């Protein structure tokens, strides 16, 4: 009986771990780009809009993963268009949308007929309920984003360093910016189940900021961030089992602790 | 390596309903140092970027390359910079650099100059010798391993110049390169500009130091929404009109007003 219990536990843990690692792999490079391009608020807006996606899924009675992904992609497009045609500063525009999406999503889910939804799971993640099918989808999307990133990496980094120089070199800056935002939307959509809408940006930014401390090249930072994110997922899962606390916040807090450790132990960068 | 001549006819630029440039007709001859001057916010940077096909302008811009393999003139409407084997070097006004990006001078150069050869492990794929040579020409010898974040503003500006030298440009575009330069950097710039001109490179230089314009320019255009003047530098610089236009810009300590300056907005987008 004890062995059976253990296997059962092991099974869902393995799936949870695989799901977390799928997100960690892609969170490293994309988180680095979010840090370099100062897109944290943009990421937040996308994350909050994921809640709308869930509501939409409940309303239409179709899979929440599909509606979340589509909603994030659409919102990324919408925000890109709006940013270009605004008199307001970008972070004001994002601030308006970010919190409107959050409020709208919360209300929509609360008003949804047909039983109560576990709001906490949506806000802070519920990695232990991830299904095998979801893990496969996550890895599929994660690998797809990584492949596109690899192909476009130098163009995107060049654009990060200097837009004008990049465009003189023949890089279409507008198209790459959009591409980056769509990849971010996909990442947010697959991270949703792991850390929840309120903590997604943390999982992107904190490992990247930690990796910055010891990196000499953009690639080192991207890879380092992925490894640190993976470590945070492992630590978070273990910690949550050990202390019987929610997984999402534990993962994020693990990332913060790792950041502190790295920050204290490495020499300050110039 | 002979540079191109550039001809633009009826060039107009309107951005979000505001007319930035209107009806500019200008010819820049091959191999000359052409200085673009004008008051702040007059549209100098927008004009040059329109020439390079980076602005949604209307009107014709025609590059005539005298060099080897493409004898016919090439009309370029929108994106013209990388359409052929012709090389355009571009030195932007400044590098608005975020220190959160870890990158060495060498990797930066390799990335900007060689970025069509993707490699998995990183950017270490440029030609080290050529890069070192370019850095040496701008007085940054031995700095290739330095992190970009630890260069001074002047050094960063010189690195931007070095980047434009790879490969040897036929057209060199300088956008107020002297703004953040130290004295030594300025000397290096001026001698390099002369050296490149002697090799036949066409140089378009957005300048604000009228003394330097007087000394180096073969021709000048003054842009203030429209083309105020085009021709040799002396008669214009000595005219009352120029004195009127530049009366406020001579002491360079006064910063441009950001809210009314379309150029500035473009750079911070």
Least confident of A119-123, A190-194, A241-245, B75-79: B75-79
Residue B72 reports pLDDT greater than 50: no
pLDDT value at residue B74: 40
pLDDT value at residue B256: 46
Residue B31 reports pLDDT greater than 90: no
Residue B88 reports pLDDT greater than 70: yes
pLDDT value at residue A103: 92
pLDDT value at residue A136: 93
CATH number for position A65: 1.10.3470.10
Instruction: Tell me the C-alpha distance between B171 and B149, whole Å.
Output: 29
Residue B261 reports pLDDT greater than 50: no
The model's confidence at residue A1, banded by pLDDT at 50, 70 and 90, is low
- A212–B102: do the CB atoms touch at under 8 Å? yes
Residue B126 reports pLDDT greater than 70: no
- CATH classification for the domain delimited by B1-87+170-269, as one of 3.40.50.300, 3.90.1010.20, 3.30.70.20, 3.40.50.1370: 3.40.50.300
Nearest CB to B101; choose among A153, A172, A218: A218
Half-sphere exposure of A143 (CA within 13 A, CB side): 6
Residue B84 reports pLDDT greater than 70: no
> Does A123 map to a domain?
yes
List the beta bridge partners of residue B34: B204, B219
Q: What is the pTM of this model?
A: 0.81
pLDDT value at residue A28: 95
> Does A51 map to a domain?
yes
Residue A115 reports pLDDT greater than 80: no
Which three-class secondary structure string do you get for B116-185? CCCCCCCCCCCCHHHHHHHHHHCCCCCCCCCEHHHCCHHHHHHHHHHHHCCCCCCEEEEECCCCCCCHHH
Number of domains in chain A: 1
Let me know: does B148 contact B103? Beta carbons within 8 Å: yes
Among A75, A31, A23, A68, residue whose Cα is nearest residue A50 = A68
Return contacts of A106-109, CB within 8 angstroms, 24+ apart: A106/A51, A108/A51, A108/A52, A108/A55, A108/A56, A108/A59, A109/A51, A109/A54, A109/A55, A109/A58
Nearest CB to A219; choose among B54, B122, B150: B122
pLDDT value at residue B263: 45
Percent of chain B with pLDDT over 70: 78
pLDDT value at residue B249: 52
The model's confidence at residue A11, banded by pLDDT at 50, 70 and 90, is confident
pLDDT value at residue B22: 82
Residue B70 reports pLDDT greater than 50: no
Let me know: does A225 contact A211? Beta carbons within 8 Å: yes
Per-domain residue ranges for chain B? 1-87+170-269, 95-166
The whole domain housing A197 covers 2-265
pLDDT value at residue B77: 34
Q: Is the peptide bond before B167 cis (omega within 30 degrees of 0)?
A: yes
The model's confidence at residue B145, banded by pLDDT at 50, 70 and 90, is confident
pLDDT tens, residue by residue, B181-193: 778 888 888 888 8
Q: Which residue has the higher pLDDT, B162 or B129?
A: B162
Q: Which residue has the higher pLDDT, A254 or B71?
A: A254
> Does A270 map to a domain?
no
pLDDT value at residue A268: 64
Q: Give the mean model confidence (pLDDT) for residues A115-135.
A: 81
Nearest CB to B112; choose among A150, A169, A215: A169
Q: State residue B52 phi and psi, 5-degree precision.
A: -80, 0
Percent of chain A with pLDDT over 90: 44
The model's confidence at residue A206, banded by pLDDT at 50, 70 and 90, is very high
Chain B closest-CA separation from residue A181 CA (Å): 16
What's chain A's average pLDDT? 87
Q: Give the mean model confidence (pLDDT) for residues A243-250.
A: 90
pLDDT value at residue A222: 94
Q: Give the mean model confidence (pLDDT) for residues A82-90.
A: 76
pLDDT value at residue B266: 45
Which residues in chain A touch residue B94, judged by CB atoms under 8 angstroms apart? none
Chain B residues near any Cβ of chain A (below 8 Å): 16, 49, 52, 54, 79, 81-82, 88, 90, 92, 95-104, 107-108, 111-112, 115, 118, 120-123, 147-150, 160, 163, 267
pLDDT tens, residue by residue, A17-67: 999 999 999 999 999 999 998 888 999 999 999 988 888 888 888 888 889
3-state DSSP assignment of residue A196:
coil
Question: Chain B within 8 Å of A216 (Cβ-Cβ)?
Answer: yes
Least confident of A235-244, B60-69, B153-162: B60-69
Least confident of A21-30, B27-36, B155-164, B244-253: B244-253
Nearest CB to A157; choose among B54, B92, B111: B111
Residue B251 reports pLDDT greater than 60: no
pLDDT value at residue A145: 95
Residue B268 reports pLDDT greater than 50: no
Could you tell me whether strands B4-15 and B18-28 are parallel, antiparallel, or unpaired per DSSP bridges? Answer: antiparallel
Q: Give the mean model confidence (pLDDT) for residues B244-257.
A: 54
Q: Give the mean model confidence (pLDDT) for residues A98-127.
A: 82
pLDDT tens, residue by residue, A220-230: 999 999 999 99
Percent of chain A with pLDDT over 70: 94
Q: Give the mean model confidence (pLDDT) for residues A122-129.
A: 83
């Amino acid at each position: 009986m004890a062995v059976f219990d253990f296997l059962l536990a092991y099974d869902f843990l393995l799936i949870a771990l695989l799901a977390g690692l799928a997100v960690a792999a892609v969170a490293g490079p994309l988180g680095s780009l979010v840090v370099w391009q100062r897109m944290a608020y943009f990421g937040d807006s996308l994350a909050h809009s994921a809640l709308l996606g869930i509501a939409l899924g409940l309303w239409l009675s179709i899979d929440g993963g599909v509606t979340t992904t589509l909603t994030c992609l659409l919102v990324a497009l919408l925000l890109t268009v709006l940013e270009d045609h605004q008199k307001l500063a970008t972070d004001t525009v994002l601030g308006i949308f970010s919190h409107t999406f959050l409020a709208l999503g919360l209300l929509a889910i609360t008003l949804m007929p047909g039983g109560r939804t576990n709001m906490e799971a949506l806000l802070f993640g519920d990695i232990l309920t991830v299904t095998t099918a979801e893990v496969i989808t996550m890895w599929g999307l994660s690998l797809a984003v990584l492949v596109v990133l690899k192909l476009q990496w130098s163009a995107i980094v060049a654009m990060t360093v200097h837009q004008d120089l990049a465009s003189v070199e023949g890089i279409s800056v507008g198209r790459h910016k959009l591409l980056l935002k769509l990849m971010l939307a996909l990442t947010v959509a697959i991270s949703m189940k792991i850390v929840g809408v309120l903590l997604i940006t943390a999982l992107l930014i904190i490992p990247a900021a930690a990796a910055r401390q010891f990196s000499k090249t953009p690639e080192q930072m991207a890879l380092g961030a992925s490894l640190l994110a993976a470590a945070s997922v492992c630590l978070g899962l273990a910690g949550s089992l050990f202390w019987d606390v929610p997984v999402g916040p534990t993962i994020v807090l693990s990332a913060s602790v790792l950041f502190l450790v790295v920050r204290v132990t490495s020499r300050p960068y110039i | 390596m002979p540079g191109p001549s550039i001809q633009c006819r009826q060039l107009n630029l309107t951005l979000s309903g505001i007319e930035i440039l209107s009806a500019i007709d200008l010819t820049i001859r091959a191999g000359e140092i052409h200085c673009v001057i004008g008051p702040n916010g007059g549209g100098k940077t927008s004009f040059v970027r329109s020439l390079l096909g980076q602005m949604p302008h209307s009107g014709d811009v025609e590059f005539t390359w005298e060099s080897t393999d493409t004898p016919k003139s090439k009309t370029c409407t929108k994106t013209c910079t990388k359409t052929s084997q012709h090389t355009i070097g571009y030195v932007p006004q400044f590098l608005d650099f975020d220190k959160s990006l870890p990158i060495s001078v060498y990797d930066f150069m390799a990335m900007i100059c060689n970025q069509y050869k993707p490699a998995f492990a990183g950017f270490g794929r440029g030609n080290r010798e050529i890069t070192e040579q370019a850095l040496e020409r701008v007085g940054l010898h031995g700095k290739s391993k330095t992190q970009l974040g630890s260069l001074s503003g002047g050094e960063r500006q010189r690195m931007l110049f070095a980047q434009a030298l790879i490969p040897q440009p036929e057209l060199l575009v300088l956008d107020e390169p002297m703004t953040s330069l130290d004295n030594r950097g300025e000397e290096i710039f001026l001698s390099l500009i002369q050296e490149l001109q002697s090799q036949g490179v066409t140089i378009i230089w957005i300048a604000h130091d009228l003394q330097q314009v007087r000394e180096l320019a073969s021709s000048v255009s003054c842009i203030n929404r429209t083309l105020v003047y085009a021709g040799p530098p002396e008669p214009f610089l000595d005219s009352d009109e120029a004195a009127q236009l530049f009366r406020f810009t001579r002491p360079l300590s006064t910063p441009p007003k950001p809210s009314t300056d379309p150029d500035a907005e473009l750079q911070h987008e």
